[in-house]
Amino acid sequence: MRAVNFKELSNFLTFWEEKMKFKWRLAIGVTMLSLFAACGKNDTFSNSHLGFNPPATYQDPRGISPDSNPDRTYIVGMNPLREDSSQFEKARVLAAMSEDAVVIENLNEHILTVAFHPGAKVQESLNKMISSPDVAFIEPNYKVFPIGTPNDAEISKQWAHTVVKSNEAWNLSVGGDDIVVAVIDTGSDVNHPDLKNNIWINKNEIPNNGRDDDGNGFIDDVNGWDFANNDNNPADDVDHGTHVAGTIGAVCDNAIGICGQAKKIKLMPLKFLTKENGDVAHAIKAIEYAIKMRVKIMSNSWGGSQSSQALAQVITKAEQSGIMFIAASGNESRNADQQPSYPAGYKNSNIISVAATDANDRLANFSNYGFTSVDIGAPGVSIYSTTPNNHYQYMSGTSMATPLVSGVVALMYGVKPTATVCEVRKALLSSVDVVSTLQGKVSSNGRINALKAVEAMKTVKCDENPTPTPDPTGKARQTALNGQTEFATGNINDNITLDYDVSEFANQGAIGAYIEVSKPNQEFNNPNGDTPDTVNRLSYAMVRTLKGSINFVPARSLPSWGTYAFRIIPLNSQNNAAGKFSDSSHLKLAP
């Protein structure tokens, strides 16, 4: 019997579902892969009837109403229907919005921001927009804030260098001029005498000629960009970003001021925070810029309590570009395993979530912690660093601990410039000084040690592409849901990561895979077979990679509480099965 052609099957099902007036909804993951959910006319998946209790309205996953979003701006994620579809998508969304809203700007090829006019029927328009098959998600443009507060000096200046053994580490590495750290913050004083020689310069841009010389979409972006005010002057009017920049890479051996954690690097100031706050849309633009300009590290001393799917997507894009994303865990003195702060709370492998410690290696009384959500401790109490107008100041916070980690990671790249995200993460977290006060509080159980981290970088190895052992029965490996084959949650707004790997079938001609999701509380009728289950299947995805991830939010992608089965089968270039379906993994949603 010839293997089932999944492409023909997909076209056949789509034809009949359109004939029956079935509706489709695309549940988009942070990797921008498509997961189509098919629902009957009387069981339409829309955000006004999700089936969860209490029912959602349009909705932000965390239940924010239009009235609690006073600036009336929203982030809209589009479904990547085809490579050249962005203009069509935009046109359809505009039509759905009618005259109630306008597109402010495109944040990237699939994410845009919209604003509603005064007097607009926001709820009605949101419901119209989210019902469009071209819209993957809508969320408020959440506010985020710099993390960290000033503190008086109680100990000697730059005590952290002694604790983390910076001097010894500098004998092995000082970084490198080609190592660029994006300081995504309130801006930086690029003329500070202790910073200016380490400020990044865009060598492909001619200063002050009013032209976009390098064709990156930004005019005269010589030293970074101010996304809050949309200009080329990322000056700091808060102190926070300049302080962060100094901790990472203040100029050393210049007979003034301080010495940054990495002596020889370049600092790229990307301003998106103001005196009051910032928002997710501007953060996304800053991250996109840093990706485009090929930085090595992003330092992020900011955050908020709301999880944004749009922000998660762009961080995954940075991960896929091999960029480390160092993030402050937050200053709420809480267990981040239970109440995460974002972006530190996302599960990407490139994110290093940082807690703050004091001079006695104790967890700072303000610092967040969490054994599964916070990675490492670093000095963050009474940290002395640069502030605008040639000044210096002590500050405390996970905001101050984060740039120290960013600086150490820069030293690590100085030893191995081609290091992968996996190698940096492994070397950093395996080389900590284990301290009793952090055991069970951070995943590494310790505080950063610059010397050990640099030494570990010399020999670290990650078998990121191991040769899998094929299953003799031809079964694909199970998918993993947040790293587990059996995952349960009561939070329908969790970001769920589905990891898949069918690379062992490459020799059988596999070039991609078909992922199938069951209806709630149903198992597939033909386990480990080679044909889809069209009876108990809720949704499916066809992907063109042998290994990867799909991220989704249950409230956006699944119709009700219950247990869902996930399975995968490899496909060849003709969309025929190149193996057998895997055993099922399960996602249990229960209140």
Q: Note the pLDDT tens digit of each residue in 388-443.
A: 999 999 999 999 999 999 999 999 999 999 999 999 999 999 999 999 999 999 99
Residue 185 is among the residues annotated as catalytic for this protein: yes
The CATH number of the domain holding residue 97 is 3.30.70.80
Enumerate residues 6+ apart whose C-beta is below 8 A from 219.
Answer: 210, 211, 212, 232
Q: Is 550 left (phi over 0), alpha (psi -120 to 50) or beta?
A: beta
Residues 121 and 33 in one domain: no
Residues 152 and 20 in one domain: no
Residues 371 and 418 in one domain: yes
Average pLDDT over residues 71-77: 82
Residues 274 and 400 in one domain: yes
Any idea which of 81-90, 185-194, 198-207, 226-235 has the lowest mean pLDDT? Answer: 81-90
HEC states along 397-428? CHHHHHHHHHHHHHHHHHHCCCCCHHHHHHHH
Residues 263 and 374 in one domain: yes
Catalytic residue among 110, 161, 192, 240: 240
In the chain, pLDDT over 70 holds for what percent of residues?
A: 81
Does the pLDDT value for residue 313 go beyond 80?
A: yes
Backbone angles phi, psi at 422, to 5 degrees: -60, -45
Q: Say if 508 falls within a structural domain.
A: yes
d(CA 341, CA 11): 42
Average pLDDT over residues 521-526: 93
Average pLDDT over residues 128-138: 77
The CATH number of the domain holding residue 482 is 2.60.40.10
Residues 397 and 544 in one domain: no
Looking at per-residue pLDDT, the higher value among 557 and 565 belongs to 565
pLDDT of residue 361: 97
Looking at per-residue pLDDT, the higher value among 99 and 313 belongs to 313
Does the pLDDT value for residue 170 go beyond 80?
A: yes
Residues 188 and 223 in one domain: yes
Across 192-339, the runs of DSSP E, i.e. the strands, are 225-226, 264-271, 278-279, 297-300, 302-303, 324-328
Mean pLDDT of the chain: 83
Catalytic residue among 134, 185, 226, 239: 185
Does the pLDDT value for residue 71 go beyond 80?
A: no
Residues 213 and 318 in one domain: yes
Q: Say if 568 falls within a structural domain.
A: yes
Residue 583 is among the residues annotated as catalytic for this protein: no
pLDDT of residue 233: 97
Any idea which of 349-363, 455-469, 487-501, 528-542 has the lowest mean pLDDT? Answer: 455-469
Average pLDDT over residues 109-130: 82
Number of domains in the chain: 3
- 3-class DSSP state of 243: helix
Distances (CA, A) of 305 to 308, 312, 532: 10, 14, 40
Enumerate residues 6+ apart whose C-beta is below 8 A from 458.
Answer: 415, 416
Last residue of a domain, one of 141, 157, 191: 141
pLDDT of residue 125: 82
**pLDDT tens digits, 214-270:** 999 999 999 999 999 999 999 999 999 999 999 999 999 998 999 999 999 999 999
Q: Say if 467 falls within a structural domain.
A: no
364: containing domain: 145-459
Residue 192 is among the residues annotated as catalytic for this protein: no
pLDDT of residue 481: 93
Average pLDDT over residues 339-350: 93
Catalytic residue among 399, 431, 582, 584: 399
Last residue of a domain, one of 430, 459, 488: 459
Q: Say if 370 falls within a structural domain.
A: yes
Does the pLDDT value for residue 548 go beyond 70?
A: yes
Average pLDDT over residues 345-361: 95
pLDDT of residue 64: 32
Distances (CA, A) of 486 to 566, 584, 587: 10, 9, 6
Residues 243 and 332 in one domain: yes
d(CA 208, CA 239): 26
Q: Say if 184 falls within a structural domain.
A: yes
The CA-based angle 495-402-171, given to 5 degrees, is 130
Q: Say if 464 falls within a structural domain.
A: no
Q: Say if 472 falls within a structural domain.
A: no
Looking at per-residue pLDDT, the higher value among 70 and 163 belongs to 163
Residues 36 and 65 in one domain: no
Residues 175 and 62 in one domain: no
Which pair of tokens denotes residue 201? 């310069």
Last residue of a domain, one of 108, 141, 174: 141
Q: Say if 188 falls within a structural domain.
A: yes
The CATH number of the domain holding residue 402 is 3.40.50.200
pLDDT of residue 93: 59
Residue type, 582: S
Residues 554 and 420 in one domain: no
